[in-house]
Amino acid sequence: MNTWAEMNETQPLVSKMLANSIKKDRISHAYMFQGAKGTGKYQLSLLLAKSLFCKNRLDGDPCNACKDCQRIDSGNHPDVHQIIPDGQSIKKEQILHLQKEFTYTGLESNQKVYIIVDADKMTTNAANRLLKFLEEPSKLTTAMLLTENSQAIIQTIRSRCQIMALQPLNPKTVEKKLQEQGLSDSSAKLMAAMTNNINEAVEISEDEWFANARKLVVQLVEVLQAKPDEALLFIHNQWMPHFKERDQLQQGLDLLIFFFKDIIYHYIGNENAIVYINLLDQITQASMHWSRQYATHTLNMIMEAKRKLDQNVHPALVMEQLTLQIQR
């Protein structure tokens, strides 16, 4: 996103508020960009940073061609500092290093910006240290905290930030952009259901592991219909060897959810909502095997299985229980 007009296409409310603040020179000392993965938090932070540093700004938009803009895009601007989790968390030492950097005079101006990615992953000590930093803001210092879960950030930090809630992208918009990237209609529809992140969607669509995961979901449905007594054997011999990691199994269950949702959409005549548009024959056949009520019941069981995975229940046990529940 290089201009506020471009950002406005996906985040109109936030874009309008920030663009007006820039034009009126009323930038807050701290922002919290809250939104799901793929909603453009990081792109928004870079656009705001460029708008603050660009000396050739036109009607609030950065030029995207000057030295400042290019160095911000490349992550090499001396007065724009980024913090990302070190492993699973953002540690106190990272915030201390940031504070030390900010004691120095700006190399090219007195303006300074810091961007904290996944701010909800700060340790307690890191959050407390950042709080002290936020309590004594410099007039020309702007903080941007990016998070998918603002409630995981201590309230005293949230209260010192102007919170900007980014809205999930419209799946139809994502689908269209993916088609423009060269994805087939069926792949674009499925990827838009999987994620709001365009780049992530393209990567997933090109992943051989994911292609095989889609096949296994269809095969599992077929086994559950035609040979339910062999379903547990299928889970142990084919499903679990492929979905080895907990997050992979979550993705597999998401794919299974889409299939049973499609059965319900088929029942109520909402064909436009069907995700697996290339599997209409299988969906029709499945709707003849399972009632609408049972498909709804199965969706609830799959969602419960996902919750058990989050609670660290053994993955194989989760799948065994789910399979037995669907068989009944």
What CATH number does the domain containing 149 carry?
3.40.50.300
Look at residue 194 and tell me if it is in a domain: no
Shared domain for 146 and 219, answered yes or no, is: no
Q: Examine the pLDDT at 16 and tell me if it is beyond 90.
A: yes
Shared domain for 88 and 221, answered yes or no, is: no
Average pLDDT, the chain: 92
Query: With left for phi above 0 and alpha for psi between -120 and 50, is residue 58 left, alpha or beta?
Result: beta
- Give the residue with greater pLDDT, 140 vs 245: 245
Shared domain for 323 and 236, answered yes or no, is: yes
Shared domain for 11 and 118, answered yes or no, is: yes
Quick one: average pLDDT of 281-306?
A: 94
Tokens of 10: 């996906």
pLDDT of residue 111: 87
Shared domain for 109 and 219, answered yes or no, is: no
Eight-class DSSP state of 321: H
Among residues 105, 135, 165, the one where a domain terminates is 165
Q: pLDDT tens-digit profile of 215-236?
A: 999 999 999 999 999 999 999 9
Look at residue 175 and tell me if it is in a domain: no
Confidence of residue 44 (pLDDT cuts 50, 70, 90): very high
Look at residue 264 and tell me if it is in a domain: yes
Look at residue 31 and tell me if it is in a domain: yes
Shared domain for 53 and 132, answered yes or no, is: yes
pLDDT of residue 288: 93
What 3-state DSSP class applies to 165?
Answer: strand
Do residues 7 and 164 make contact, with C-beta atoms less than 8 angstroms apart?
A: no
Q: Examine the pLDDT at 266 and tell me if it is beyond 70.
A: yes
Which range, of 85-99, 163-177, 242-256, averages the lowest pLDDT? Answer: 163-177
Look at residue 129 and tell me if it is in a domain: yes
Which range, of 143-147, 166-170, 297-301, 304-308, averages the lowest pLDDT? Answer: 166-170
Shared domain for 229 and 118, answered yes or no, is: no
Quick one: average pLDDT of 73-91?
A: 92
pLDDT of residue 265: 96
Confidence of residue 105 (pLDDT cuts 50, 70, 90): low
Shared domain for 36 and 147, answered yes or no, is: yes
Look at residue 189 and tell me if it is in a domain: no
Among residues 104, 134, 165, the one where a domain terminates is 165
Half-sphere exposure of 209 (CA within 13 A, CB side): 11
Do residues 274 and 280 make contact, with C-beta atoms less than 8 angstroms apart?
A: yes
Look at residue 200 and tell me if it is in a domain: no
Q: Examine the pLDDT at 106 and tell me if it is beyond 70.
A: no
Shared domain for 145 and 212, answered yes or no, is: no
Q: 145 is in which domain, residue-wise?
A: 4-165
pLDDT of residue 88: 83
Among residues 111, 131, 165, the one where a domain terminates is 165
Q: Examine the pLDDT at 282 and tell me if it is beyond 70.
A: yes
- CATH number of the CATH domain containing 219: 1.20.272.10
Q: Examine the pLDDT at 34 and tell me if it is beyond 90.
A: yes
Half-sphere exposure of 321 (CA within 13 A, CB side): 14
Quick one: average pLDDT of 257-263?
A: 96
Q: pLDDT tens-digit profile of 139-189?
A: 788 999 999 989 999 999 999 999 999 988 788 888 998 999 899 999 999
Domain count, the chain: 2
Shared domain for 39 and 98, answered yes or no, is: yes
Look at residue 13 and tell me if it is in a domain: yes
Shared domain for 277 and 159, answered yes or no, is: no
Give the type of residue at 169: L
Q: Examine the pLDDT at 113 and tell me if it is beyond 90.
A: yes
Quick one: average pLDDT of 115-139?
A: 90
Shared domain for 120 and 263, answered yes or no, is: no
Tokens of 285: 């056949």
Confidence of residue 36 (pLDDT cuts 50, 70, 90): confident
